[in-house]
Amino acid sequence: MEFEKPLAEWKGQVQEIKLSDKVIIGGEQVFPNYSFDGKCSNKPAVAIEINDVFPENWPENLKEIWNTDTLKSPVERAKKAEKEFGADIIFFDMIGTHQDRENISANQAAENMNAILKAVDTPVIVRPDGNFEKQNKIFAKCCELAERQIIIGSAKEDNYRTITASALAGNHFIIAEAPIDVNIQKQLNILITQMNFPLERIIMDPMTGGLGYGFEYTYSVMERIRLQTFMDDPFMIPPMVCCVGQETWKIKEIKIEDEKYGSKPERGINWETTTAIGLILSGANIVVVRHPESVIKIKNFIDSIYQKSDCLQQGI
């Protein structure tokens, strides 16, 4: 008897988004790497996180590889991330804008952002920190003054209006962030689009924990989101971004002195890489990491599973 290959038939498709000539994400019609079912489409992109201020609480070995002087200059960091470390996207996390930290003003934040936009050619994700009032001021300024199209984050269930209005006026992309919850994610997407914002310019951040720190919960929530996408839920089509680095480099296993955990720098890289790969397997379209070694490993992994050119075509 001849074997007949069972094919899952999906109706929906992840929105394809062109962030720049080089970086196109989304577009898949099947679960990650289910190339036997349909079109896998674009490779996931790897973003590197940089900050507007010196990242005090990074582990020493992570600071060393970046070089402390470089870390002090956001622009130098961005350049290094793009040119030396091969970032597809720069994730500009403006932790210094938090009212309890450096409390960088909205105007200054926009200036800092423009310096980064000028320094690199990659797409840039911009995300301020602070209470909603502070964040809203920065959303408005950054969206107004950005010298090119940016991806601005994060719209949340309780604070999505100002960012959406600003991104609408400035023609930018939005990151819609939900606390590991399918329902809230969908509702947020609907709320944003109800303000006339095109769904085609939304990227979802389902939020994540590091491996061993709630990662598996995100994994299944992302699977759920994608299930809904492929079952043709029109509001669940945006691609997804996962902030991996910030979740992994803060956990205790990476910081403690203990021989049996192996060398400290490697631990961090492995933890970051494994978490990122797991998330890619559950549908992440962008993973944001901190260590250059992780970028290489993750990209090797992506290349290895996407190596067959027919993987990108319809079926195998």
Partner 1 sequence: MSKQIIELAIQGYQEQLNNTKAVVQKTENKIPADKKITFPETAYNLPLYFAFTGKKIHSISDAQNLIDEIEKKNSNIISADIDLTETLDLGIDTIILQELQLAVESSAGEQINFIPDNVLRSLGVQLVSGDISGIAVIIGAARDEETAVEIIRTLQEKNILSVLAADYEGKTMFEQLSNQNVEMTLDTYIVHLGNKTESVVLGLNWAIRAALTYGGLEGGQKEKCLKYCSDRIPAFALVLGGVDAKKVATAVGAIAMGFPIICNFEVPEISVKDDHGFEQKLLTFELNSNKLVEKCLEVRNIKVKVTEVPIPVRYSSAFEGERVRKEDVALEFGGKYSKAFEFVEMKNLDEVENGKIEVIGKKINEVEESSALPLGIVVYVAGRKMQKDFEPILEIRFHNFLNQATGIMHIGHRSFVWLRISKEAKKAGFKIKHLGTILQTKFLDEFHSIIDKVEIHIYTELEMINKFMPTAEKLYHERDQRMGAMTDESVDVFYSCTLCQSFAPNHVCIITPERLGLCGAYNWLDGKAAFQISPTGPNQPVEKGEVVNAEIGEWEGVNEFVYKASNNTLERFSAYSLIKYPMTSCGCFECIIAILPGTGGFMIVDRTFLEMTPCGMTFSTLAGVVGGGQQTPGFLGIGLNYIVSKKFVSAEGGLKRLVWMPSYVKERFREKLDKRADELVVPGLVDKIADETICSDLAGLIEFLAEKDHPALKMGELI
Residues lying near partner 1 in the complex (CB under 8 A) are found at 136, 140, 144, 161-162, 164-166, 168-169, 181-183, 187, 190-191, 194-198, 221, 224, 227-228, 231
Q: Which is nearer to partner 1, 60 or 144 (CB)?
A: 144
Measured from the CB atom, the residue of 20 and 187 that comes closer to partner 1 is 187
CB of 98 to partner 1, least distance (A): 21
Q: In what order do the strands lie in the sheet with 202-205?
A: 202-205, 173-177, 151-155, 124-128, 89-94, 45-51, 286-289, 241-243
**Residue placing its CB nearer to partner 1 in the complex, 122 or 154:** 154
Give the shortest CB-198-to-partner 1 separation in angstroms: 7
In the complex, minimum distance from the CB of residue 232 to partner 1, in angstroms, rounded to a whole number: 9
Q: Which of 134, 193, 141, 136 is nearest to 170 (CA)?
A: 141
| Minimum distance of partner 1 from residue 230's CB (angstroms) | 10
Provide the minimum distance between the beta carbon of 237 and partner 1 in the complex, in angstroms, as a whole number: 15
